[in-house]
Amino acid sequence: MLVCKEWLYFDMQGNKFGHIQRAPVDPILGTTIAFRQDSAPEKINLGVGAYRDDSGKPYIFPAVAEAERRIAADASINHEYLGIDGLESFCTLSRDLILGEDCPAIAEKRVVSCQAISGTGALRVGAEFITWFLKDQTPAVLISNPTWGNHVTMFQKQGLNVVQYPYFLPATRALDFEGMMNSLRTAAPNSIVLLHACAHNPTGVDPTREQWDEIAAVMAERDLVPFFDSAYQGFATGDFEGDAYAIRSFARKGFQMFISQSFAKNIGLYGERIGCLHIICSNTETADIVRSQVLMVVRPMYSSPPCRGAYIVQKILSDPELRASWIRELQAVSQRIIDMRAALVHELTTLGAPGDWSHITKQIGMFSFTGLTPAQCDVMITKWHCYMLRNGRISMAGVNTRNVNYLARAIMDAASS
């Protein structure tokens, strides 16, 4: 019998990967998979972190479609590599959008801006930069409890000491401001504090402006470094200026800080993976040095970012007509989420669902922390085919005028169980 020498060789090597154990399913991705496999016609996907219109369909901003048309017709645009730090005009426009064109740090040339692979990439580059240059002087990275699922893992994987600070009070379904402030007051100097700029994920609960000012005062007193994650500017309330209040206020107060900026939600460019990392330094000379080292962080990671999303955002932000169109549409998108919150509370109240559900309209942004227990969430999923995270978070983008009554009945039943 003939034996294939090549096969015999590989067989002798043994199973090189046999020791690797299967990874747990990501909760959010697992929810989406379960939803797709469910054949029930009444099923609702409340786990997806992407906007859906009132028909439950993905939404493309008209400004995006027009920008793509113009890009396709522009012979000067090609598919060549961007620089390591991305499209310069995109970075400048993104910086001005989030900090405000009148930000003193911009005028003083203290801001380093680097295009990133959406907000996740900006966080990742920032985390690695901290590991390279600030790890020895960073006692801890403080992250809210709860927070977006990737935050803790991302910084822990960099070997940084992650400590979670209290943020949400289940009893009141509101901000645990005192718990948060107590953690900041006792944090070691030079610790980095990850802050959700607006529309906190997953709770939808934000500090007031007065509370932000108190947070800033304590962080300045304790010499803490802010790392803002901004995924919802303009999407949270429809107001770009208001949604950027915390970041702009901290910048004007003179903080040196990191900012992760994403255009996934507020322009609907989820799959284009377009974002920006900004680092505000103390002076121009330091900013030049930091910029040079950010390039060195990116180079061995992914070399240079993709160009399509950058061209789209650049077109929209630089053209008055497209920008105005985008802002109008974004305000409409934001208002639909607000309307669905009100509609859900109305249905729950009308049905006589047990408890107070006013927190749903007090929260902002894409998500609502319902307050349902894991067992009650299981009822929502298995009995009512309403797919959500077991921590009680639902995506308000999955709620529409056709399913809001059904969802309210499901919540009422689950809350009564």
Can you state the percent helix, strand and coil of the chain, rounding each to 5?
50, 15, 40
The residues, any chain, with a CB within 8 Å of residue 227's CB and separated by 6 or more, are: 126, 141, 192, 193, 194, 195, 257, 258, 259, 260
Secondary structure element (H or E) that encloses residue 394, with its range: strand 393-395
The residue annotated as part of the active site, out of 229, 326, 357, 384, is 229
Closest CA to 27 of 339, 377, 301: 377
Residue 326 annotated in active site: no
Residue 135 annotated in active site: no
Residue 57 annotated in active site: no
The residue annotated as part of the active site, out of 85, 212, 265, 384, is 265
Contacts of 356-365 with CB under 8 Å at 24 or more apart are 359/173, 359/174, 362/174, 362/205, 363/203, 363/204, 363/205, 364/198, 364/199, 364/204, 364/206, 364/236, 364/237, 364/338, 365/198, 365/199, 365/200, 365/201, 365/204, 365/232, 365/235, 365/236, 365/337, 365/396
- C-alpha distances in Å from residue 238, one per residue of 302, 391, 397: 33, 27, 15
Spatial separation of the C-alpha atoms in residues 306 and 83, rounded to whole Å: 10
* Residue 222 in tokens: 């304790």
Q: Active-site residues: which are they?
A: 148, 229, 265
